[in-house]
Amino acid sequence: MRPSRYSQNPQNLTLFNPKSTKQSSDFCPIKITSIPSNLSNYIRHCISQGNHKEALLTYPQIRRTGIYHFGVVPLILKACACLSLIHIGKALHAESIKSGVESNVVVGTSLVNMYAKCGDILCSRKVFDEMPERNVVTWNAMIGGYMTNGRMKEASFLFERMGQRSVVTWIEMIDGFAKSGETAIARELFDRVPMGIRNVATWTVMVDGYARNGEMEAAKNVFDSMPIRNFFVWSCMVSGYCKRGDVEAAKAVFDMIPERNLVNWNSLISGLAQNGFCEEALDVFVKMQTEGFEPDEVTLSSALSACANLGLLDVGKEIHQMIVDKGIKLNHFILNGLIDMYAKCGDLRNARLIFEKISERNDCCWNTMISSYAIHGQCIEALELFGRMEALNEEPNDLTFLSILSACAHGGFVQEGMETFAKMEKYGLTASVRHYGCIIDLLGRAGRLNEAYDLVKRMPVEPNDTIWGALLGACRIHLDTDLADRVLEEVGRYSDSGSSNDSHYQLLSNIYAASDKWEKVERMRTVMLDKGFQKAPGQSSCML
């Protein structure tokens, strides 16, 4: 396959010559004929391999000859849908109208799907309504589009109007409602599936729906009733139990699989790593290979996560070398896993080298690198990277701000922290209690206790134990017993609501003791006894 030529920014992709000011006339008249098989096959190959951008960049070579091809345009529309490039999809729609083939059922169905997946459900429905001919695939595309966009009522209305339903129709409906958390409706639909078309896929999507929502008893009931099971339904059960934290049940299901494949192994390894059983995850990773299974991107990402959590730099480097030797595709999961592994193992140099080699960074990639600097106390580097992210017009999210605010708190960068906090509104983000916790900690460490207390009182979210702990920790550092008294009143009201934390009273007692206010120390001890708290020596409620 020839090397990719696409821009780092997918929005820069164009179907036309960017130097032309008369783009549409440059390609007139449009001819509907055959195209060179090498280009057609290459586009099909790109789409099948998930290389949608390369397919889009190959298409102009066809259009320069004035050719419009039924078999390729639906593929290009599929690429637009996968990349959410609605502007290119609209250009193809215009070409279809110009060529007089917009009424073709295959082209029309592809347009319905493209608009829906790009989030323009109104245009999708308009194309659907104007199609002179529709088949069951068209109906399924429209129903799936409604489901993808959370329009459950419209999907149900269309579903009931369908004259003929395929297995895909039922699966779209069951899966859509299950993904939205409405498993009861999904089950009603599953029970309505005609026995003649109720196959292993319909059974599996119902099991997966229950498992995804943590309803493992219901998932097991359907699973046990299945006449035939495929490999995916076994993985659904393993992943479902792992998601609920029941690792033993997940392992028991895994052990019952009659013939395992790579997906089954990945489900167990990923589940073990996510639940903190990292050593066991690596053991299973080794066992999988001894049984003749080659790891893929999913396997290696989970193994890297386990190494990161255990701090096993040497093992992580071995996995990195395995990725290189086997020529594993370096997708975002692998790259983020490598950055995370090196960073958590303290090798920030290699983490940054990998980060810099990534041509298209997503928010997870930025967050991983920024949080790595924050965790290791390299606050200036974290702030510089955040500034670079903004300069490149990359959109920070909640986790980005959490990492930066934490870095500012550790580094004592009060002004930078307050300015960063104020930027959340600019990006349409709402600060959570965790973001406020970082700011309270930041102000508290800097000795601006009254300002921190006022912020707690003004917070639009209710303060939790971490907030009070951060404030009380600052009172202890700066021996501010007056503010500690005020906080005590607030903690008392907070504890009356059933959310008390004995460490707060212990911390207050320590503050008074450090200030030689022994009467208040005794009062704290009396309060703790009355509330049934026990002293836990050596503990502190200070945050971070």
Model confidence over 7-52: pLDDT tens digits? 334 444 444 333 333 333 333 333 434 444 567 788 888 888 888 8
Q: What is the model's pLDDT at position 483?
A: 75
| Sequential DSSP letters for 315-372 | HHHHHHHHHHHHT----HHHHHHHHHHHHHTT-HHHHHHHHHH-SS--HHHHHHHHHH
The average pLDDT across 207-223 equals 96
How far is the C-alpha of 213 from the C-alpha of 206, rounded, in Å?
11
Q: Work out whether the CA dihedral 283, 287, 289, 293 comes out positive or negative.
A: negative
Residue scoring higher pLDDT (481 or 127): 127
Residue scoring higher pLDDT (69 or 295): 295
How far is the C-alpha of 39 from the C-alpha of 492, rounded, in Å?
73
How far is the C-alpha of 518 from the C-alpha of 514, rounded, in Å?
9
Pairing type for strands 31-32 and 67-68 reads parallel
Is pLDDT at 486 greater than 90 in this prediction? no
Q: All domains of the chain, ordered by start, with CATH?
A: 1-160 (1.25.40), 165-259 (1.25.40.10)
Beta strands in 373-532 (DSSP E): none
Using the structure block, give the residue that is written with the tokens 């945050």: 543
Beta strands in 5-59 (DSSP E): 31-32
- 356-394 exposure pattern, b = at least 16 Cβ within 10 A, e = fewer: eebeebeebbbbbbbbbbbbbebbebbbebbeebeeeeb
Q: What is the model's pLDDT at position 299?
A: 96
Using the structure block, give the residue that is written with the tokens 């307050």: 418
Q: Which of 333-342, 372-381, 472-481 has the lowest mean pLDDT?
A: 472-481
Q: What is the model's pLDDT at position 264?
A: 97
Which residues lie closer than 8 Å to 249 by C-beta, 6 or more apart? 216, 241
Q: State the chain's mean pLDDT as an integer.
A: 83
Q: Are 53 and 4 in contact (CB under 8 A)?
A: yes
Q: Which of 356-360, 500-504, 528-532 has the lowest mean pLDDT?
A: 500-504
- 27-38 exposure pattern, b = at least 16 Cβ within 10 A, e = fewer: beebeeeebeee
How far is the C-alpha of 421 from the C-alpha of 432, rounded, in Å?
11
Q: Quick check: bond before 60 cis, omega within 30?
A: no
